[in-house]
Amino acid sequence: MLRRSPLVLMKSDRPELAAALALCKKHKAMLVIAKLDRLARNVYFVAGLMESGVDFVACDMPYANRFTVHIMAAVAAAVAPLHSPEER
């Protein structure tokens, strides 16, 4: 199976986020997100975001470092199926 880059997925699935990242890159700005769990539901996606060259901070976890963000993404990915209707 051919896997698309997380940033390619972002452009197609999250166009507003892709636009915000482009602006952050252009202006060398930091991306501010409200809640980390809204962003960190896929470890592959989060890893791609971290490698994008744009720093980001989550308002609900402002002191989270790269390790913490990866752990939160892994937990969110593990918990997501528990909330889906197919798993009930």
| pTM reported for the whole predicted model | 0.70
Q: Can you give the pLDDT at residue 4?
A: 46
Q: What share of the chain is helix, strand, coil (3-state, %, to 5)?
A: 60, 10, 30
Q: Can you give the pLDDT at residue 63?
A: 92
Q: Can you give the pLDDT at residue 11?
A: 55
Residue 8 pLDDT class (50, 70, 90 cuts): low
Residue 55 pLDDT class (50, 70, 90 cuts): very high
Coil, strand or helix at 24? helix
